[in-house]
Each structure stands twice: as C-alpha cells, then as structure tokens.
Amino acid sequence: PSRVGPTPHHLYNGQAALAFQSASPGLPRMSERPPLRPGLVPSAPQVTSEKLCRAQQELHFQAATYLCLLRSVREHGALHQEYHGKGERSPEEVAGLVGFRLPQQPGGKG
C-alpha cells in the first residue's frame, strides 16, 4: 500500500476498496504523532496545514457515513430475515391463506 493518505477514488476491480482507511494501522493518526523536540528538524513534512487537516476530516466523515450505511443495511437485513422474512411462500401456502386448496388434493375446499 502506498504512503499516500486514504483516497476514495482508487478502484480495485469493482470491489468497494474505497480505501476508507482512517482506521488503517499503517496510517498514523495525528494524535499519535510524537511531540517535536526543539531544535530537531523533521525530515518528512508534518501534517499541519489546515487544508490537509480539513480534507482528512471530510474523508473521515465520509468513511464514517459509508460505514453507517453498510452496517445499517446489514443489520436491517438481519432483522428482516429473522422477524419479517418467513421465506417465499409456496403456491399451496398462498392458496391456503385465502381458504383454497390446489386441485391436486382430492376433496377440494374443506
């Protein structure tokens, strides 16, 4: 994985690798950066510009929103399956709902 920050525009063959990797272990969060010792010149640019900061916040929000979408759809589906979806009814069951029986059964409507 590249050193570049998370990007929503990388595509990996249709997989949702939208790289919402604000939780990625490879990417140090700003709060985890060690404090700069006085007199020490950093070799890599520090993430201090407001523009980059805001972009990261926006990306984090987007990631959190997408996660909420995926999680909610999954949870809703699970609840639907358990409590609403009794599976597709067979024609026999549906006929039974309205008080009919199918012709295969001799005697018809009881």
Interface residue with other proteins, options 29, 43, 46, 73 (CB under 8 A): 73
Token pair recorded at residue 42: 């950093």
- Region at 92 (left for phi over 0; alpha for psi -120 to 50; beta for the rest): alpha
Q: Which of residues 50-69 bind other proteins (CB under 8 A)?
A: 51-52, 55, 57-58, 61-62, 64-66, 68-69
Q: Which of residues 90-109 bind other proteins (CB under 8 A)?
A: 91, 94-95, 98, 100-103, 108-109
Q: Of the candidates 5, 1, 3, which has an alpha carbon nearest to the alpha carbon of residue 49?
A: 5
**DSSP assignment, residue 65?**
H
Token pair recorded at residue 100: 């009919």
x/- track of binding to other proteins for residues 29-48 (CB under 8 A): ----------------x---
Helix, strand, coil percentages for the chain (3-state, nearest 5): 40, 0, 55
Token pair recorded at residue 40: 């020490």
Under the rule (CB under 8 A), what is the footprint of other proteins?
4-5, 7-9, 11, 13-16, 18, 45, 51-52, 55, 57-58, 61-62, 64-66, 68-69, 72-73, 75-77, 79-80, 82-84, 88-89, 91, 94-95, 98, 100-103, 108-109
